Homo-oligomer: A and B are copies of this chain.
Amino acid sequence: MKTPTKSSYHHGDLQKALLNTARLMLEKDGIASLKLRAITRNAGVSATAAAPHFGNLTGLLSALAAQGFDELSEAMSPEHAREPRDVGLAYVRFAIANPGLFTLMFRSDAIDPDHPVLATASERAFARLAALPTCDQSGISPEAAMASLWAKVHGLAVLAIDGLLAPLIRRSSTALTIDQLVEEAFR
């Protein structure tokens, strides 16, 4: 049995070390900087040290994305998000606080959505959304209400990350915040 404490591998827990450095690079220099060789170089190991743990670059990025979905699930959990409104707020706030990671989580050409760890992580996060008591309006199926809500929240997150909402907010006469736009979706 390998002790999961600290130094079960040669150089400590390289798996987590690689994910940590990759995440730092991600939020510092963007997704384009996530080259396998650059990650291992910054972690102080050889170029191919990640292979036994993640297989290839896609595997590493998928694991990183899974970590993101886990954190998002945590932020949207009933403990942290009492009212439905809080779930939407958590979603958008997570995206804005971790723009690189959030973007990676939905970049299906850089990650493998079928990767087991990633798939279960994302499903759990999406389940938090599906569990929302869809404030059903007149004559709208719960699925439609669900999709509409998710689309609006996700759209706000994506547009905000791309800096496309900033001009609108700046131009607004009333003091406008993204939080207000989110809250508006839950009413």
Instruction: Tell me the A residues contacting B by CB distance below 8 Å.
Output: 30-32, 106, 108-110, 126, 140-141, 143-144, 146-148, 150-156, 158-159, 162, 164-165, 168-169, 171-174, 176, 180-181, 184-185
| 29 examples of A-B residue contacts, CB within 8 angstroms | A31-B109, A32-B109, A106-B158, A140-B184, A141-B172, A141-B174, A143-B168, A143-B169, A144-B172, A144-B174, A144-B176, A144-B181, A147-B156, A147-B168, A148-B152, A148-B184, A150-B155, A151-B151, A151-B155, A151-B156, A151-B165, A151-B181, A152-B155, A154-B155, A154-B159, A155-B155, A155-B156, A155-B158, A158-B158
Contact A143 B172 (CB under 8 A): yes
Please name the residue on chain B nearest to A160 by beta carbon. B151
Determine the distance from Cα of A184 to Cα of B139 in the docked complex, in whole angstroms.
Answer: 11
Residue of B at shortest CB range from A187? B137
Per a CB cutoff under 8 Å, which of B109, B141, B173 touches A173? Answer: B141
Set of chain B residues within 8 Å of A181, measured between Cβ atoms: 144, 147-148, 151
Taking CB atoms, residues of chain B closer than 8 Å to A151 are 151-152, 155-156, 159, 165, 181
Determine whether the beta carbon of B106 is less than 8 Å from that of A176.
no
Which residue of chain B has the shortest Cβ distance to A178 in the bound complex?
B147
Report B-chain residues with C-beta under 8 Å of the C-beta of A144. 172, 174, 176, 180-181, 184
Residues of B within 8 A of A168 (CB): 143, 146-147
Most chain B C-beta atoms within 10 Å of own C-beta, residue among A31, A32, A144, A171: A144
